[in-house]
Amino acid sequence: MPTIDLAESGLRSLNKQLHDVGEGSNETHWDIINPRGAHAVAVGVNAAIAITIHGSTGYYCAGMNREARIVVQGSVGPGAAENMMSGSVTVMGDASQYAGATGQGGLLVIQGNASSRCGISMKGIDIVVRGNIGHMAAFMGQAGHLVVCGDAGDALGDSVYEAKLFVRGSVKSLGADCIEKPLRAEHLAVLEKLLGQAGITDVKPSEFKRYGSARKLYNFSVDHADAYG
């Protein structure tokens, strides 16, 4: 179980070692200590390994992750797990803006709160936020699920495509073309599964409301011009 002290080894050495993990490697558990807010920690990993980061990180932690299961024992800066393809990223603290941006797959769990633009342009990623999220969450979200156990800020789901949004608390306002939709059995099943994967057991799927696209902006119509700004 390798332990990398980022204060001593440096970012380049860390990411190089993670990129060099070969298929079938016995080094399946990695610990990273002293991240001290460093940017681009554990980015571009493409291996089914477990990585625990002991501390808080800066921008783009776990960016473009493939297959790895990454846990941050702290908070993360902007763009955590951006463009994740698969695997999982769990943030035990809070996440700054753009968490899970453009993610195409995998699971991002934020046990604290997430700032603005969480899930912006999401393309298939599943995001579960234990706390609250800021404004413009899931802006232009194309696919995937955003589950918010707390409250959502302004302009939730602005210009959303087919991403499915679930909020348990209040929504300050909905963005352009985003509406509340019925919570059907299949959505309850999705919520149960995602909450279970996130390890959240004290919240019931039935307590959520579902939001998604009204699909009025899918093809341009002058009668909807106001919604385009």
Partner 1 sequence: MSYTNPPTVPRKSATFDDYTLSEIRRAATTGIYDIRGGGAKRRLPHFDDLLFLGASMSRYPLEGYRERCDTDVVLGNRFAQKPLHLKIPITIAGMSFGSLSAHAKEALGRGATAAGTSTTTGDGGMSTEERGQSQTLVYQYLPSRYGMNPADLLKADAIEIVVGQGAKPGGGGMLMGQKITDRVAAMRMLPKGIDQRSACRHPDWTGPDDLEIKILELREITDWQTPIYIKVGGARPYYDVALAVKAGADVVVVDGMQGGTAATQEVFIENVGMPTLACIRPAVQALQDLGMHRKVQLIVSGGIRNGADVAKALALGADAVSIGTAALVALGDNDPAYESDYNALGTTAGAYDDWHEGRDPAGITTQDPELMKRLDPVLAGRRLANYLKVMTLEAQTIARACGKSHVHNLEPEDLCALTVEAAAMARVPLAGTNWIPGQNF
Q: Which two tokens stand for residue 214?
A: 């009204």
Per-residue mark of binding to partner 1, 151-180 (x: CB under 8 A): --------x-xx------------------
- The residue from 33, 48, 92, 143 that contacts partner 1 (CB under 8 A) is 143
Q: Are the beta carbons of 146 and 137 closer than 8 angstroms?
A: yes
Nearer to partner 1, 9 or 15 (CB): 15
Gap between the Cα atoms of 113 and 142, Å rounded: 22
Query: Listing from the earlier edge strand, what are the strands of the sheet with 88-91?
Result: 3-5, 29-33, 50-54, 69-72, 88-91, 107-110, 123-129, 143-148, 164-167, 209-213, 178-181
Nearer to partner 1, 53 or 140 (CB): 140
Gap between the Cα atoms of 22 and 28, Å rounded: 10
- The residue from 30, 59, 208, 211 that contacts partner 1 (CB under 8 A) is 59
Any contact of residue 66 with partner 1 (CB under 8 A)? yes
Of 124, 215, 211, 116, residue with least CA distance to 161: 215
Any contact of residue 16 with partner 1 (CB under 8 A)? yes
Any contact of residue 29 with partner 1 (CB under 8 A)? no
Which positions touch partner 1 (CB under 8 A)?
11-12, 15-16, 19, 39-40, 43-44, 46, 58-60, 63-64, 66, 78-79, 82-83, 85, 98, 101-102, 104, 117, 120-121, 123-124, 139-140, 142-143, 159, 161-162, 218-220, 222, 225
